[in-house]
Structure 1
């Protein structure tokens, strides 16, 4: 417990010293001390957002995947042919020499 109190006393002493040195030092110190708090808040927001979105999307994702499977089975892929070389040969004009 003594370690914590000495740490915060030294931190307070540093803040007062830097404030007395000038406004620029005060602003820089404030930014440096605020960065960990900002990162913590952003991390919590991102984690909560990801968790909430995952629960909402998991239900709709199952429905969408079932629809895709049904559609895939019902329709054939017309872009892929069984013999592409023979079709290409048929389309090429014959060259007479």
Structure 2
């Protein structure tokens, strides 16, 4: 919304949304469709994207765990669903 306003008012010719695209690869499509509440926003934490520059590590994103690992296949689902209980759901438990 801010980027669209800046473009419309002539404040800029181009808006870079690199970290936004990393956090949500469908950022542009959702914005174009008016589904801005569904956009997974970048936290600006710089932990997995900018923080790994120069360290020869995969790019990542705390908001999007698949970022940088799109070519790695997802594990196959288990043979049957299970009911689980998470005890102690603090930051370490999640």
| Fold in common (TM above 0.5) | no
* TM superposition score category, shorter chain reference: under 0.3
Structure that is richer in helix per residue: 1
Between 1 and 2, higher relative CO (CA 8 Å, sep ≥ 6) is seen in 2
